[in-house]
Amino acid sequence: MNITKSISLFQEAQTVFPGGVNSPVRAFRAVGGQPLFIQRGEGAYLFDADGNRYIDYVLSWGPLITGHAHPDVVKAIQEAALMGTSYGAPSPLEIELAKSIMDFMPNIEMIRFVNSGTEATMSALRLARAYTRREKIIKFDGCYHGHADMLLVQAGSGVATLGLPDSPGVPSTVAADTLVANFNDLESVEALFKKWPDQIAAVIVEPVAGNMGVVPPLPGFLEGLRSLTTQHGTVLIFDEVMTGFRVHKGGAQTLYNIKPDLTTLGKVIGGGLPVGAYGGRREIMQLVAPAGPMYQAGTLSGNPLAMSAGIAALSLIREEKCWEKLEQAAGRLEAGIGEAAKRAGVPIQQTRVGTMFTTFFSETKPVDWNTVKAADKIQFGKFFQKMLENGVYLAPSQFEAGFISILHTDEIIEKTLEAAMEAFRTC
Ligand code: HOZ
């Protein structure tokens, strides 16, 4: 595979960006080799600067359920751009997208658009603190909710991928209010409630963890969180930045039938453009300024390009048929990978919920960060490189999720499985 242009672009990039990238996991440090510089995306494919084509299972880290550059989404963006790229004032598009999201997720009674998942989670936590007038929050080891100070504590995603300690620069006073429990371990949550009575404002959780690789909730875990938070007057926040429209068309809250108090969403509601949102119970949302005193603002919030792309993308995935197809395709991929690994005698653990999946190189069932981190990262790196050589682009970390789109056809999945067969044989 010729990647000469990517190599020289990476050298140049390192002179202007720390580590040569604008987000750490992209640097391929966990898998070796060097990042590919992407020229364009089309459907289920990515094309790098040297013209190589890859089947893409990253899909901009999840949001591209309709694939790259879907004509309807592109048309919506083009038409919106002709009408102006930002108003810094309300527009009818915001109401249309809000209503569309609320149709998918009826637990969201009111919503506020922001520009990223990070902004959504940090605003939702400020809101939970304002509502409860308490300061402490609980998050889970290995879950990642963006890079706000209070959330960079035992975090997943890039922090886990690079094996970093909690980030320097985060004030210890801020981190002190972030309590950490074990995913899928209600006793660890109960212990924190016991230790800090009437002080916990919020529990924030990825209802299906995606940022330590996919780790589904064990039966009773989310139900337990709901009842503990209700019992203690604590706000339950489902961070559905990754799971929203991915594990089910109504998100994890619909799949598991749990009503969180607040939900956070990310780029998926903008068809992949920079957007996020937080929303939930009307009584809580009424505290957001200017309806209430909790301040949060942004010029690009609700910007017309992202709203238009989101409206187009969500209308494409509204059809029930589309979900059946996605579920079947993801199931076929999961079964085929399992079969390929078995034939090659490579022990793996597969996790999948809806269209999110991870293949862990491990003999241990992944249920929390402790079990996940037992996975063989070196073997994953070899597998990743082999898949890449064979034209399949996976997330460059054992601790991230894979995703499929409505454009991942049977034929594309077959090609992926051929590559996997070969990769398992040699990794
Ligand atoms: N933290 C992101 C995935 N969970 C990666 C972001 C990126 O590199 O784009």
Residue type, 203: V
Q: Could you tell me if 3 and 51 are in contact, meaning their C-beta atoms sit under 8 angstroms apart? A: no
Pocket test for ligand 1, best of 38, 57, 157 (most atoms within 8 A of CB): 157
Which atom of ligand 1 is found nearest the CA of 23?
8
Of 54, 57, 131, 144, which one is the catalytic site residue?
A: 144
Task: Give 178-225 as a DSSP string.
Answer: EEEE-TT-HHHHHHHHHHSTT-EEEEEE-SSB-BTB-BPPPTTHHHHH
Cα distance between residue 412 and residue 329, in whole Å: 10
Query: Ligand 1 pocket, 242 CB below 6 A?
Result: no
Ligand 1 atom at minimum distance from 24 CA: 8
- The closest residue, in CA terms, to atom 6 on ligand 1 is 23
Minimal CA–CA distance to 353: which of 263, 268, 243, 254? 243
Phi, psi of 121, deg, nearest 5:
-70, -40
**Three-state DSSP state, 262:** strand
What does the DSSP 8-state code read for residue 352?
E
158 lines ligand 1 (CB under 6 A): yes
DSSP assignment of 170-190: S-HHHHTTEEEE-TT-HHHHH
- Asked if 355 and 18 touch (Cβ cutoff 8 Å), the reply is no
Q: What is the pLDDT of residue 160?
A: 75
Q: Give residue 165's pLDDT.
A: 65
Domain annotation for the chain: domains and CATH numbers: 4-69+319-426 (3.90.1150.10), 71-317 (3.40.640.10)
Give the integer Cα–Cα distance in Å for 187 and 148.
Answer: 27
Nearest CA to ligand 1 atom 1: 157
Confirm or reject: Cβ of 400 under 6 Å from ligand 1.
yes
Question: Choosing from 267, 278, 373, 386, which is the catalytic residue?
Answer: 267
Quick one: which atom of ligand 1 is closest to the CA of 22? Answer: 8
Q: Which of 141, 185, 239, 376 is catalytic?
A: 239
- From atom 5 of ligand 1, which residue's Cα is the shortest distance away? 25
> Any idea which residue has 């034929």 for tokens?
411
Whole-prediction pTM value?
A: 0.96
User: Measuring from atom 7 of ligand 1, which residue has the nearest CA?
Assistant: 23
CA of 23 to the centre of ligand 1 (A): 7
Confidence at residue 92, expressed as pLDDT on a 0 to 100 scale: 98
Question: Is 144 designated active site?
Answer: yes
User: Distance, CA 61 to ligand 1 centroid (Å)?
Assistant: 6
From first to last of the 427 residues of the chain, give the pLDDT tens digit. Answer: 899 999 999 999 999 999 999 999 999 999 999 999 999 999 999 999 999 999 999 999 999 999 999 999 999 999 999 999 999 999 999 999 999 999 999 999 999 999 999 999 999 999 999 999 999 999 999 999 999 999 988 888 777 777 666 788 988 888 899 999 999 999 999 999 999 999 999 999 999 999 999 999 999 999 999 999 999 999 999 999 999 999 999 999 999 999 999 999 999 999 999 999 999 999 999 999 999 999 999 999 999 999 999 999 999 999 888 889 999 999 999 999 999 999 999 999 999 999 999 999 999 999 999 999 999 999 999 999 999 999 999 999 999 999 999 999 999 999 999 999 999 998 8
Whether 397 is in the pocket of ligand 1, judged by its Cβ within 6 Å, is no
Q: What are phi and psi of 248, to 5 degrees?
A: -170, 155
Give the closest residue (by CA) to ligand 1 atom 9: 23
23 lines ligand 1 (CB under 6 A): yes
State how far the Cα of 111 lies from the Cα of 127, in Å rounded to an integer: 12
The atom of ligand 1 lying closest to the CA of 210 is: 4
Contact residues for 28 (Cβ-Cβ < 8 A; gap 6+): 34, 35, 396
- Based on the residue annotation, tell me whether 239 is a catalytic residue of this protein: yes
Q: Is 267 annotated in the active site?
A: yes
Per-residue exposure over 359-378, b if at least 16 CB sit within 10 Å of its own CB, e if not: bbbbeeebbbbebbbebbbe
CA of 362 to the centre of ligand 1 (A): 23
Ligand 1 centroid–CA 244 distance in Å is 16
Q: Side chain identity at 235, as an amino acid letter?
A: V
